Amino acid sequence: MSRVDDAERFFVERYSCSQAVFAAFAPSFGIETSDALRLASALGGGLRAGSTCGAVLGALLTLGLARCDEACTSKSRHDVMDAVDTFHSRFLDRVGSLDCTGILGYDVRIPEEREIVHEHGLRDSVCLPAVRMAAEILEELLVDNDTSRRTP
């Protein structure tokens, strides 16, 4: 099973978007799945505020692991920012927004709108494809630019 499939599986198993993406990739960088799930647990639902999509945040955590060297040098931090810019651009092109509210079309901070999201099954029809897309883009970046230098 691929890491992209793992991200989708975690999300289907009811983990948050951030947990799903980060937990699928973190073991490649020596982080236990259980630790990855805990580390990303506060980032889902656009930081629980409808802001930056948790799938994006999980991917960005992974890019930090992949691109930043252990000394966190200025050069490696710039490498991370370049990868973040590329990720943002690709995600925007394919999904249309970086924010939960823009992706869902509803503001999850508003109880009535959050209820619509649940009633219409948007977690499965909108969020799941966004999780998969974030994982696919992340996989592209890890392969295309040899950003997986810390990957075993």
Give the model confidence (pLDDT) of 25-61 as tens digits. Answer: 999 999 999 999 999 999 998 888 889 999 999 999 9
Backbone phi and psi for residue 52, each to the nearest 5 degrees, phi listed first: -55, 125
Query: Is 66 a domain residue?
Result: yes
Q: Which residues pair with 52 in a beta bridge?
A: 99
pLDDT of residue 50: 84
Neighbouring C-beta atoms of residue 115, cutoff 10 Å: 12
pLDDT of residue 151: 45
Query: Is 46 a domain residue?
Result: yes
Query: Is 152 a domain residue?
Result: no
Query: Is 149 a domain residue?
Result: no
pLDDT of residue 148: 46
pLDDT of residue 145: 59
pLDDT of residue 1: 85
Query: Is 151 a domain residue?
Result: no
Instruction: Residue 98: give the domain boundaries.
Output: 3-144
Specify whether the backbone of 95 is left (phi greater than 0), alpha (psi in -120 to 50) or beta: alpha
Can you tell me whether residue 99 is helix, strand or coil?
strand
**Counted domains in the chain:** 1
Residues of the chain where predicted confidence (pLDDT) is lower than 50: 147-148, 150-152
Rounded CA-CA distance 65/136 in Å is: 17
